[in-house]
Structure 1
Amino acid sequence: MEVVLIPPANSAPVHLPETRAVPVIRADFSDDGGWERLRDEICSPTTEGFAAAVEFVEDRSLVGLVGAAIAGCFPRAYPTRYRHPVLFVVDAVTVSLPEHPLLVVNLNEHDDTGSFRTLPRQVQAIENNLSIANMDVAEFARSTGPDGVFRGF
């Protein structure tokens, strides 16, 4: 199954394959080594033993877009038309900043919480808690720092 995403103005439609786990989308292709390091960090269990159930997707149609432009490509389709409440994006901001904060895009059609950023080592906490409905996106978004990055509780 494929979800067609609403593209930015003057862009071709973006297609996201249906994934079994929460997608981590690569939207910046400037640093292959950095992408591999981020993948390793996201896949590594936390000190408590929690692992993120994610699936990595490369999408060149998002190259050059960051933040709100990327978030605007994705419809609020969870839970009726999409199985995941969020997706994570590795964009130019992620690659360029020292902490490598990923974009967290809220896909919940019943929640108007906007996107925010998170450290790679917090993907596990976000994915795990959302997947079991222990927390919602707003709880993580409210816990971001002044710079809009979630670094943990």
Structure 2
Amino acid sequence: MNQFPVTFEALVVRTDFSADGAWEELREALFSPSQDGFLANVALVDDRRYEGLTPDRALDLNPRSISIHFWSWRTLQLSPRLNGRSS
């Protein structure tokens, strides 16, 4: 398995490919400004080579000693609070 890309952004690595709609919703939320104009500083990794990747294995793929990774494991359901929609 290949190492993660080297980037200054936090990586959001897709490890579950069973819910394309949830992934698209996450992408939209991450690349839409918040009410205060904040944009997430992230790089998306949407590559089936990482399907089923565990956190332990991910540590071996990290080319840097200090990094932040966000993991989507199973079907992602964004709450209205997180994505700025009212309930």
Given the alignment of the two structures, is residue 32 of structure 1 paired with residue 16 of structure 2, yes or no? no
**Structure 1 CA distance, aligned partners of 2:82 and 2:17?**
17
One of 76, 80, 87 as aligned partner of 2:69: 87
Given the alignment of the two structures, is residue 56 of structure 1 paired with residue 44 of structure 2, yes or no? yes
Any unmatched runs of 5+ in structure 2? Answer: none
Between structure 1 and structure 2, the one with the greater Rg is 1
Identity of aligned residues (%): 31
Q: Deviations over 1:13-67 (max 9, x none)?
A: 44212224211111111122221111001122222221111111123233234xx
Q: Deviations over 1:65-95 (max 9, x none)?
A: 4xxxx221215x6xxx628630112222xx1
Aligned residue pairs: how many?
80
Matches within 5 A, 1:57-136: 57-65=45-53, 70-73=54-57, 74-75=59-60, 82=64, 85-92=67-74, 95=75, 98-99=77-78, 121=83
CA contact (8 A) 2:15 2:48 kept: yes
Provide the aligned C-alpha RMSD in A: 2.8
**Structure 2 CA distance, aligned partners of 1:36 and 1:90?**
12
**Structure 1 CA distance, aligned partners of 2:30 and 2:66?**
17
Q: Deviations over 1:97-137 (max 9, x none)?
A: x447xxxxxxxxxxxxxxxxxx855xxxxxxxxxxxxxxxx
Any unmatched runs of 5+ in structure 1? Answer: 1-12, 101-118, 122-153
**Structure 2 CA distance, aligned partners of 1:72 and 1:49?**
35
CA contact (8 A) 1:25 1:88 kept: yes
CA contact (8 A) 2:15 2:73 kept: yes
TM-score by length of 2: 0.67
Higher strand share: 1
